[in-house]
Structure 1
Amino acid sequence: MKTSQAVSAASPKKSSKWFERVLILLAIIGTVAVMSLYQDLAQRYQSHSNPKSSVYGMWVEKEAASYVKDWFELSQNGVTINHRVVATSFDLKGDLITFYSGDVRYQYQVLNENKTQLQQLSPAHYHPVFELSGKHKKSLR
């Protein structure tokens, strides 16, 4: 009779541990789900408040001789340099624009609220300022 009581006393402990482990697993899964939903929501807000289209256009190096000026174009198709697509996408996070051409990372910082000037941050050997030009230039009213 003592053995049957011992077995029945051990059984609730096993089921209790199993139940606790299931609850912990569900809590972890729920936390991961909430975090991924929050990340998606944050990305949607970022793309709505700071759309990539706000930097679309032709960017021309400022204060350089016309025969050596660098230029590039940002569009929904990616990044174009010398009439060639060098990157099919670019990232706009806050005031930083980043794209890769091969293994080289190009990074630019927006210098003003109107998003009409950029400064090249990398590659680090030269830091020119670029200006949004031509028909894409925004009204500064």
Structure 2
Amino acid sequence: MFLVELIYASRADGITGAQMTTIVEEARVANRKRFITGALHFQSGVVIQCLEGEREVVNALYNNIVRDARHKDPVVLAFEQIDCRTFERWNMGYVREGLISPDLYLKYAIGGKFDPFSMRGESAVAFARKLALSLATSGPEIH
């Protein structure tokens, strides 16, 4: 068994914050059963999500995400084998829209706007680590 981390971005045009909250709640239940951990950030109709778990399980979940009509233009930003989980306390941490400092976007994205599609793999991983720090100080969901 290999433990991996997959970070992807997708467009979720038309999804509201309330709908995303419901999606996250459903993901938490499903991820708990699969021993998947991770976090999601939703901003301006764009999602960046980090998934951690057994390689085959994470790959199967990502294949489901690609087939899900709510996700447009999914792209893998980073995929690597890991020794330990960053999000071990969260089946799905959720950082809501508008709660990330614009300075963080400036640091990790081109143009200072939330655009994970412009992030290099290393930047996506670093951004995910910052999400983990935010969750560690605020709990599984930042309001």
TM range (shorter): under 0.3
| Structure of higher RCO (CA pairs closer than 8 Å, 6+ residues apart) | 2
Structure number with greater Rg is 1
Q: Which has the larger helix fraction? A: 2
